[in-house]
Amino acid sequence: MIDREILLEKMKTSPYRPMKAKIVEMRMFTDKEKFFRFELEDNINLTHQPGQFVMVSMFGYGEAPISICSSPTDKGYLDLTVRNVGTFTDKLHQLDEGDVVGIRGPFGKGFPIDNMFGYDIVIVAGGLGIVPLRSLIRYIMYNRNDFGNIQILLGCKTPKDLLFGNETKEWQRRAEIKFNCTVDRADPDWKGNVGLITSLIPGVDLNPARTYGVVVGPPIMYKFVIAELLKKHIPDHQIILSLERRMRCGLGKCGHCQIEGVYVCQSGPVFDYSQIKDFKGECHEKAG
């Protein structure tokens, strides 16, 4: 027989068992996106890499994959930013401070930070793509001397869709970082660039052999941003992307996230361009 104490300990560390997480802070960024800060049960510090995700659950409503937007250097809490797109996320938006959800993870492979030490970094974020990239940016800021030049290019539909507004102002103020933001459609108060995010890339000065390009955004953006980075002669393996493909379990069991036999939740969500440039984008689903 299996010892009961051993069994209980295994259950505590099982990737199938959600940890309790209490909401300690929340605020709306836009009419669709809401920021949540959680404290995990028993004061657990979740060990994660920038670019990983967790599965968030609520009894009676199921669970959903959410990118982590806090850095591993942010101790004692976990930050998530959630767009309201359906029944589950709508219910999550209705919760109050002090409410508890379940969290499993972290899952997947994050950004290859160890390979990026000493390199210049060009970060290209489109819309909600700034959420997982915030984790990377905060990690770089905390370990600033470990990296070379940092350039952040951020694009969104309108100024009202800008996430992490106070932090983006801080990035803009920091002398050792080059930050540029563009919107598809301006309002009367907008003083910045207007146009697609690809319009910012030709003006970026970089040494391709010593530069990583990190890109996260809507799928339609990737084709055009990658083309611009390749024009800059950044090697394929130094162009880093994050994909999301119908992830449901986080453990490679359900098969819903497969692209040509690759489980995004396990082999990704972060890939380099050399790994995925021949993908046709098809998802071979198994029966759930």
Sign of CA pseudo-dihedral 31, 35, 41, 46: positive
Joined together, the tokens standing for residue 88 give 């589950």
What integer pLDDT is reported at residue 45 of this predicted model? 77
What integer pLDDT is reported at residue 287 of this predicted model? 27
CATH H superfamily, domain 4-107: Translation factors (2.40.30.10)
Write the CB contacts of 165 (distance below 8 Å, at least 6 apart in sequence).
29
Answer yes or no: are the C-beta atoms of 61 and 101 closer than 8 Å.
no
CATH of domain 113-242: 3.40.50.80
Radius of gyration of the chain (CA): 19
Q: How far is CA 281 from CA 51, 261, 266, 276, in A?
A: 21, 11, 17, 9
Domain range annotation of the chain: 4-107, 113-242, 243-288
Q: What is the pTM of this model?
A: 0.91
- Note the pLDDT tens digit of each residue in 71-92: 999 999 999 999 999 999 999 9
What integer pLDDT is reported at residue 194 of this predicted model? 94
HSE value, Cβ hemisphere, 13 Å, CA-based, for 244: 18
What integer pLDDT is reported at residue 284 of this predicted model? 33
In degrees, rounded to 5, the angle at the alpha carbon of residue 143 between the alpha carbons of residues 137 and 144 is 75
pLDDT along the chain (288 residues), means of 10: 51 77 96 96 85 95 95 95 95 97 94 97 96 97 96 96 93 92 93 93 95 95 96 97 83 85 90 89 35
